[in-house]
Amino acid sequence: MQSRKVTILLFGIYLMFLTWIILFKLDIFSTLQLAYIGSRESSINLIPFAGTAMYNGVLDYQEIGLNVLCFVPFGIYLEMLNRTATWGKNLSLMIAVSLAYEVLQYTFRIGVADVTDILANGFGGAIGINIMYVLTSIWREKTYERVNQLALLLTILVASLLFLI
């Protein structure tokens, strides 16, 4: 039970960082002064791997890759917290959260709502879910404790790096 509480705490911290990254693009001043909300025009891209995913006519693999990477922990945490849920249910929940972030960006005019982001986020989450499947087949009952220890270490590392930016 203690392990679950640690997982919930780490997941909460992860969600705060994820929100800061997605909605505020790591900008501390925008986070503190929300006056810029609504100052830009809303934009939606419904064509996968086009629009904002393109930079000078070339697909921006780096941004797509970062989206995938940012959502790998989401899949891991969902699998840890919803152990009895199916792979598809956890993936659906993650895609719903990703869609919510895109709707928030569009509604508050703080970014471009982009279907490519939803696809990349879903792919990252699916990788995370699969990582947990592999780890539980290797470590069995020790998986959740070990993943929490690794997640704590990575949370401290990421927090340190983000605050240095």
Q: What is the pLDDT of residues 13-41, one digit of tens each?
A: 999 999 988 888 766 555 444 545 555 66
Residue 57 has pLDDT above 90, yes or no: no
The pLDDT assigned to 33 comes to 47
Give the pLDDT band (50/70/90) at residue 52.
low
Per-residue pLDDT, averaged over 78-104, amounts to 95
The length of the chain in residues reads 165
Residue ranges per structural domain of the chain: 2-164
Q: Express each pLDDT in 123-141 by its tens digit.
A: 999 999 999 999 999 999 8
The pTM of the whole model exceeds 0.75: yes
The pLDDT assigned to 30 comes to 52
Neighbours of 35 (CB within 10 A): 8
Give the residue among 65, 77, 67, 72 at the shortest CA–CA distance from 125: 72
Per-residue pLDDT, averaged over 141-150, amounts to 94
Give the pLDDT band (50/70/90) at residue 55.
low
